[in-house]
Structures are given as C-alpha cells and as structure tokens.
Structure 1
Amino acid sequence: MAPNTTRHRARRALALIRWRFMLMAAAVGAVAGLGAVAFRALIALFHNALFYGRLDLFYDTQVHMPPSVWGAGVILVPVIGALGVAFLIHRFAPEARGNGVPDVIEANFFRQGRIRPRVALVRPLASALSLGSGASIGREGPIIQIGAAFASVFGQWLRLSASQLTTLVAAGAGAGIAATFNTPVAGVLFAVELLLAEVGVRTVVPVMFAVSVSTMISHRFLGDSPALPLPLPVHPLGPLAPESFTLYALLGIACGLVAFAFLKGIYAAEDLFDRLFANPYLRHAAGMLLVGIALWLLQRHAGHYYIQGVGYATLQDVIAGTLTQPGFLLLLFALKYLATCITLGSGASGGIFSPALYLGGTLGAALALPLAQYWPALGIDPGLFAVAAMAGVIAGATGTALTSIVMMVEMTGDLHVAPPVMLCVALAYVVRRGLSRENAYTVKLLRKGLVVPESLHVSMHYFKRADEVMVREPVWDSDAETAACSPASATAAEGCRLIARDGRLAGWRPQSSASTRTDLVAVRPGTRLEDVLIALDEADARLAVVVEGETGGDIAPDRVVGVIGAEQWLGEELADARLFPHGR
C-alpha cells in the first residue's frame, strides 16, 4: 500500500471517530462552563446565608464584603461550614477532601481516567460550603474536578478506550480552569502540563475544543473579563533594565522558597491535624475555629476580612496601590499562609491556585514598595512586581510554569509583562525543584506510592508494528481454552478462540458466545497499528489476526502468530461497526 494511499485511508476511516470525539469534548466543555457558573452561584448562596442570613446568588469576590450581621459570632461561621463539609466528605466521598487536582492526575495516570460519579456532586457542594463559610482556599480545584469527573462518567458510559477517556478527562479539567479564570490559553496549557501523558494534535485538539466551549459559556454568563483583572501601565522596556533584571531574578528565588514552604506547610498541617483529632468533624471544626478568629480580628482591627475566601479583593487593592504598607502586606502574607495551611490541613475542600496568587501578590508588593520609595531610579512598579511574584509562586507550588506565565498575560492583557514574569517563573521553579522534586499536587500522590512522570511524550502506539502489540500464541477452539484478544487491561476485549476447519482459519468465537464470527482481517507482523485499525474499519471487523506470509486466500493455522482486538484501541462503542462509515 502506497504511503499516500495509507494516509488518505487513515483520514477517511477515522474521520467519524474524530468528529464524534469532538462532540464529546464539546459536551464536556459545556458542562464545565455551566458548572463554573453554577458553582459561583452556589458559593454566593452559602456565603450570603451564613454571613448575612439572606438568600442571594450574587457575590462579587473583587470587592471587600461588609461586616457580618452576626458581629463576633462570625467566628462560628467557618465552624458551621466545617461541620457540613466534614459530613459530605466523610459520608460520601473521602477523595473530595483537600485540593482536587491530585485526584484528577491520579485518575488519568493510574486509573485509566476513571473517577467515581459521586465526586462530581460531592466536590462542588463541599467546596462551595467551604468557600461560602470563609475558608481560605481557591475555587479552581473544584471546577477542575467538576469538568474532569463529568468527562470521566460520560466517557465510561460511552465505553471509551483508556487513551480516549484520559484525553476527555484532561479536556474537562482544562475547560474548568479556563471557565473559572476566563483564561482559555492557560486552560489548554494546564491540561498539557499536568494531565496529558501523550501530547500531540490528536490529544490537544479535543482539549482546545472543550476549552473554547467552556469559555464561550463563561463569557455569556460571567462576562468576558478575567476573573481577576490586573490592568498594569507597563513601559515595554522598563522591566528588563539591568538593575530590574537582577531584582526580578531575586524575586524569583524568593518565590521558589515561598512555594516550597507552601507545599510543606499544607501537608505538615494535614499531618498535625490528623494526629491531634481522630474524629473528622472535630478536626475540621477546630481548624476553622482558628480561621474564624483570624477573620474577626482582621475585620475589627483592619476594617476587612482580607484573608477570607479566594482573596481577590485584597489582590485588587495590591495592584491598584491601595495597600502601601509593606509591614501590613507581610502580615497578610503570613496570615493567608497559615489560614490556607490550616484550612486544607484540617479537611476543607478547595484549590490552591488562588491562595498561591495571594501569597505571590502580597509578597511581591511588600518587597517592591520600599524599593520604589527609596530607589525611584530603578523604575520598579509594585503592581508588576506583584504580578511576577503571583506567577512565580504558582509555578513553583504547582509545577505549571507555562500555565502561570500565560495566565498572567491573559489576566493583565499586556504582553509586556511576559519577560519579567518568565524570569521569575523560571527561577522560582528551579529553586523549588532543587528543594523538593515534588510539587503541591504530586506530593499527595507520592504519599500513596504513586510517581507521576515529569516528561511529556508523543504517543507512539499507532506507529508500533502489529507484532509489538499483538497477543501471541492465540488459543484455538480445539484447545478448549480462552485467549485474550488484546493485552489484559480494564478496557481489553473479551476473550476469544480462533476456529480452524479443514486446515484453514474459519473464524473466531467470543468467550461469551457459542456462535462463530467471521468479522476478522489478516495483517502481517510489520503492519503499523494505525493501518490495522483502518483495515478493521473497512471490513467492519472486530478482530485482526497477525499472519506470516500472504494475507489473502486461505490461512493455515500454523501461520497465525497473534491477534489484535479492536476494543483495546478504540473502545467498545467506537469499535462497534454501527459507528463506522460502512454500517452493517
């Protein structure tokens, strides 16, 4: 078969599969986008009910909330929320505790993309209650898990193969982060950096499609500005003056140290609370009591709750130059660090992206303000310093270097921030990586004995030869045994027996059936897997037999060296002939 003919058949035969998969990605993106809208409304519902005793679905996180109507009783609001969160997690879904991203990574790398359906319900409820009651966490983790969990359940219902299911889960996660921050390019890169084990057009395009749909829905209901807009008047050449270059490099080092301390603090707090409290209700209530006290003290002495929830209102003050006291900014940095570690360590459900933004923003501004005051010739912009530090702490803590850079560019709407941000991110990542090989996501997996690969690779499965992927020594009917049609896995084809009559291959018989089937094709050992799938498609077949010599005419049993099942590579539904162009 000529190479150009092969490519033409590949495009034609797999076109329907691609388009069906793109429709699945669109559905996942739609759910992620609507999930982001519904999740924000749910947070607002809990927030307004618990802090003000009213039912209202609006809550602007970019504006400081007024004092609670309960006065000093606000201390108990996080405790009440903690009891509800502990009930949901302990009773229904223990994996909803903490940041949801490690669970999505585990599903994609170690469970073939499988996530329990109930997680899609418990995680948003628990996280909305945590955030609504004042927990110091982010909302991106739950949104990521909403999109990923729906994608997993949807894909399992359609009986997708493992490779398709993991791609769909990554698409759901990327769509989630794009919808919650309104940063579509960063959403795609998030999936690439953390969730796709195979990176190529075949896997990235569905992610892009899902992200596009989720972003469109987010724009429709939440507006087209980023969740945390960071407008900065930046001169194109100012940030990379020699003196500024050195300062941003030092800032990157500081961000790496903060990222390391952040991931260590979260899991140290978790270990501490687990040792102190065996009861999950008491454990989380005790932690949130401390957070409630901090909120009340800040409101009473500083005028705002400051560290409550995602903290975007405080970051707006930092960028706008409203907060200009370095000492107070460092105090907020320390309180946010402690509050987030206590919140997640004691058992809350939420993300770490927003707390990392907060830590970076307050740290960057606190370091820049004295420089801008005493050495104005350096041209240091505290707002730009804060933005660079936000990206640095995120990259160091989560390992998502490209995502953090692009996210800051999308949030500011200014490409001029890219050079200092990239410098800060690069050094922050190197410093954290030198202190800890694991990031805040993979530490949780490592504690389970799971090691996530650090490098991305392009899938070479479809370029492998038939004799590399086949099951060798197939069992014939006369042996009265069962041979697997594909390598053993959760998505492998059912067992089968080959049938020989009058000294030739006559068909095959599934393990669960007594009837003989003839829907098979013969291929040579050197045939690429891609061409095997094309041959199966054109013949409406479910089984390929690998034979030595000619593939046409009668095939003697001694020439059959292996078998390849369609289900392992396409999934049961897509391997069904009803979904192929020819039909039955």
Structure 2
Amino acid sequence: MILLAALAASLFARRFTPQSEWKLWVACGAAAGMASAYHAPLAGSLFIAEILFGTLMLASLGPVVISAVIALLLTQFLNGGAAPLYHVVLQQNLSALHYGLMLATGLLAGLCGPLFIWLMDYSHRGFVKLKLAPPWQLALGGLIVGGLSLITPAVWGNGYSVVQSYLLLPPSGALLVGVFICKLLAVLASSGSGAPGGVFTPTLFVGLAMGMLFACFSRLWLPGSEEMAIMMGLTGMAAFLAATTHAPIMSTLMICEMTGQYTLLPGLLITCVVSSVLSRTLRRDSIYRHHVAEHV
C-alpha cells in the first residue's frame, strides 16, 4: 500500500509539478499510504521524516502530515467509522517492574534486529547465487512459502490477522514457537526471492512473537496472566520495529496509534530508544537502507 501510494504520487508529480518538488510528493504519497493502511497518520508522517528524509524536517513535515490525515479520514469514511487497526484489551497498571521488563525487551530487540537484517541479506544472496531467471526465482520462493503453509496457514499474507488474533488471545508457547519459525522462514524466502511486498507488517509479527516468547521463557506468562503476554508482545512490536528501522519515535507512536494503548507511551519510548541505539551500534544500516543498497 505504501509503495502503491508513493508510485501514484510520483507519477502525478512527474506530470504536473516541477522536479524540485518530486521528493516531497513521493513522501506525501508514502505517508498517505501508511496512514490508510495502519490508521497511524502521525507515525506515518514521522516514518517518512525519519526514513526518507533522514531527519525531522519541519518545513517538509506539514504537507506530509496533511496528506496522512486526509488519507486516514477518507479511509475511516469508507470503512464507516474510526477505530484502531488492532483491537487490544489491556487494563494492567504499569509498575517499576513492568518498565524494567520493557527495557529488557528493548535490549533483546536491539540484539535481534541486526540479526534479522543479516538473515534477510543472507537469504537474498542465497537466491542470487542460484543464478535463476527472475520467474524461476520467484517460483522457488513461492514453493517454499507454499510448503510452509502446509505446516501452518499462518504464514500466508503479511501477518495482520495473526497479530490481531494473538493480541486478543495469546497462544501457547509451543504453538507460538512453531508459527514464529515458519513465519520467519516464509518472510526470508519471500523477500530473498524478490517477491514484491513490504516487510513492515511481518516485522511487527516478529516483534510480537519475540516479546511474547520472552515473557514465556522468563516465566512471566503464567495461566491467567494473558495481559502480561499482551503487554510484552506490544513492547516487542515497538522495540523490534525501532531496531530494524532505526526510527524510535515513529515506532513508539506507531504502536500507540495502531492499538490505542497510549498508557504504554513512556515505557515504549524509552524501550525504542534503547533498542534503536543498540541496533545501530551493531549494524549501521537500517532494514530500508539495506534494501536500497541491495537494489542499487
């Protein structure tokens, strides 16, 4: 959706606007696509500012925010109402222990983020070494994903429905491990083969699974304590997103806007900053700059 909106904006800009404004139009289109897809206009605007521009450029942020808000309002009008992208029931009051656990999740994400980017790079280089024609390369990626879907249908799609179901009712640890491994392999096969599509929502699933597994293996997720698993899952989503994009402010606001859980904002912000700094220390390039380097 983000790529499609950016492409439409680029085609319009090339036809009707001067070249000096092309980058801004693409940014507005990408922000509008993200706002409509994830119901997060502010985070979508900051995504463009932090990823595309590389900084928070206030002079360019105004048109980007306006585009994102208009896209969200139109999406809500067509959907018949406004609602967060993910429905989350979380009423747990945060204590010092919770903030400590969120920080620990951020450290874990800061270590796993560079590993995830390396795995994607390794997968891409593996497909390139096969020296297959693009159609056969895509077919091989599809065959791998199709084979994994025989184990669990959860590997299909970008992971939105799986994330939503797990946020409503966290699965058992064993099931989560199995789905996580299969989904990760599917993402690597799909991305490595060059199949069109983004990695944003799959990144959210990986972060969710990482957070919930951390809660499970640290014995924090006990029967009847699903709220702890949900909180750790949301923290994992934000922290892993920050670790792979190196955009902590966007990642924090993205999770808050998508779920409506603004009570987590202080803890998520600290967690995302820690995760982003650690990830950037271990690997300089974010997942998006890594993709650009691959295709230049």
Structure 2 length normalisation: TM-score?
A: 0.91
Which residue of structure 1 lines up, in the alignment, with residue 196 of structure 2? 349
Which amino acid counterpart does residue 342 of structure 1 have in structure 2?
A: A
Distance 2:89 2:75 in 1: 20
Relative to structure 1, is the Cα distance of residues 144 and 313 closer, same or farther in structure 2, using a 3 angstrom cutoff?
Answer: closer
Cα 1:165–1:266, aligned 2, differ >3 Å: closer, same or farther?
same
Matching residue's letter, 1:414:
Q
Indicate conservation of the 8 Å contact 1:234/1:416, yes or no.
no
Q: Which amino acid aligns with 2:98?
A: S
Partner of 2:113: 259
- Give yes or no for contact 1:150–1:172 (8 Å, CA) kept in 2: yes
Per-residue CA deviations over 1:349-375 (Å, capped at 9, x if unaligned) read 11111111101111211221331329x
The aligned residue for residue 14 of structure 2 is 156
Partner of 2:151: 297
2:92–2:227 CA contact under 8 A, matched in 1 = no
Are the equivalent residues in 2 in contact too, given 1:389–1:424 (CA < 8 A)? no
Query: 2:286 aligns to what SS in structure 1?
Result: coil
Normalized per residue, the structure richer in strand is 1
Quick one: structure 1 residues 448 and 343, their matched pair in 2 at CA, closer, same or farther if it must change by over 3 Å?
A: closer
Map 1:346-495; keep pairs closer than 5 Å: 346-369=193-216, 370-373=219-222, 381-447=228-294
1:313 counterpart letter in structure 2: S
| CA distance in 2 between partners of 1:202 and 1:432 (Å) | 29
Structure with more contact order per residue of length (Cα contacts < 8 Å, sep ≥ 6): 2
| Larger proportion of helix | 2
Call closer, same or farther: CA 1:380–1:316 in 2, change over 3 Å. Answer: closer
- Alpha-carbon shift at residue 198 of structure 1 (Å): 7.2
1:67-112 alpha-carbon deviations (Å, 9 max, x no partner): xxxxxxxxxxxxxxxxxxxxxxxxxxxxxxxxxxxxxxxxxxxxxx
Q: Given the superposition, is the C-alpha separation of residues 334 and 427 from structure 1 closer, same or farther in structure 2, using an over 3 Å criterion?
A: farther
Aligned twin of 1:316: 164
The superposition leaves residues 197-240 of structure 1 with CA deviations (integer Å, 9 ceiling, x where unpaired) of: 675443111112211211111112234223333332232xx2x4
- In the TM superposition, what whole-angstrom CA distance separates every residue of 1:355-400 from its partner, at most 9, and x where no partner exists? 11101111211221331329x8xx9711011001001111111222
- Aligned-partner Cα distance in 2 for 1:312–1:446: 28
The answer on whether the counterparts of 2:38 and 2:85 sit within 8 Å (CA) in structure 1 is yes
In the TM superposition, what is the alpha-carbon distance from 1:419 to its structure 2 partner? 2.3
The structure-2 alpha-carbon separation of the partners of 1:198 and 1:165, relative to structure 1 and needing over 3 Å to count, comes to: farther
Residues 1:326 and 1:149: Cα distance change in structure 2 (over 3 Å)? same
Instruction: Give the conservation status (yes or no) of the 8 Å contact 1:327–1:366.
Output: no
Q: Which runs of 5+ in 2 are unaligned?
A: none
Which residue of the partner structure matches residue 50 of structure 2?
Answer: 193
Amino acid at match of 2:132: A
Amino acid at match of 1:234: Q
Task: Report deviation, 1:448.
Answer: 6.1
Counterpart residue number, 1:286: 140
CA contact (8 A) 1:326 1:367 kept: no
- In the TM superposition, structure 1's runs of 4+ consecutive aligned residues that sit over 6 Å from their partners are none
- Look up the match of 1:526: none
The 1:247/1:172 distance shift into structure 2, 3 A limit, reads same
Q: Unaligned regions of 5+ residues in structure 1, if any?
A: 1-142, 299-304, 450-584
Partner of 1:167: 24
Residues matched between the structures, number: 293
Which whole-Å CA distance do the structure 1 matches of 2:133 and 2:159 have between them? 30
How much does 1:273 deviate?
A: 0.8
Matches of 1:313 and 1:245, distance apart in 2: 28
Question: What is the distance in 1 between the residues matched to 2:122 and 2:86?
Answer: 30
Task: Decide which structure has the larger Cα Rg and report it.
Answer: 1
Q: Which residue of 175, 198, 208 corresponds with 2:65?
A: 208
Q: Any idea what the Cα deviations from partners look like across 1:31-89, whole Å, max 9, x if unmatched?
A: xxxxxxxxxxxxxxxxxxxxxxxxxxxxxxxxxxxxxxxxxxxxxxxxxxxxxxxxxxx
Percent identity reads 26
Residue correspondence of structure 1 range 75-90 to structure 2 within 5 A: none
Q: Residues 216, 279 of structure 1: CA spacing in aligned structure 2 closer, same or farther, 3 A cutoff?
A: same
